[in-house]
Amino acid sequence: GESVGLHLPTLSVQEGDNSIINCAYSNSASDYFIWYKQESGKGPQFIIDIRSNMDKRQGQRVTVLLNKTVKHLSLQIAATQPGDSAVYFCAEIPLIQGAQKLVFGQGTRLTINP
């Protein structure tokens, strides 16, 4: 069935270092992938997305990599800052006509150490 999972539930990095958050997905028919950041008590905040016809996409300080061969997605955050501390979710939307349902993974808690 559809599932999106993350390799690590927690990740701690030093301020200024780069961080990499990984995500494995099981639905090879998924067409669209998205990373959200969620701070305590708030709703998920869009970070970056990527479609299945791409393998890399860059934003401001963030890069998403998609490896369809092994069904793996990663989020790279450059020069982490204290404000990057949050739970990060990957989510997918399967390639089904009209499908608009996001399927989320459990999340990775990123902690930035000063």
Partner 1 sequence: DTGVSQDPRHKITKRGQNVTFRCDPISEHNRLYWYRQTLGQGPEFLTYFQNEAQLEKSRLLSDRFSAERPKGSFSTLEIQRTEQGDSAMYLCASSLGRSTVTETQYFGPGTRLLVL
Residues forming the site for partner 1 (CB under 8 A): 4, 31-32, 34, 36, 41-46, 49, 51, 89, 91, 93, 97-107
CB of 17 to partner 1, least distance (A): 26
> For 83, which DSSP code?
G
Alpha carbon distance 59, 74 (integer Å): 13
Q: Minimum distance from CB of 49 to partner 1 (Å)?
A: 6
* Closer of 97 and 114 to partner 1 (Cβ): 97
> Least distance from C-beta 79 to partner 1, angstroms?
25
28 vs 106 by CB, closer to partner 1: 106
For residue 4, CA distances in Å to 8, 25, 59, 66, 107 come to 13, 4, 23, 14, 10
Rounded Cα gap, residues 98 and 63, in angstroms: 28
Q: At its nearest, how many Å lie between partner 1 and the CB of residue 42?
A: 6
Whose Cβ is closer to partner 1: residue 49's or residue 68's? 49
Closest to partner 1 by CB, 14 vs 104, is 104
The DSSP letter of residue 98 is: T
Instruction: For residue 11, give the nearest of 104, 92, 77, 105 by alpha carbon.
Output: 77
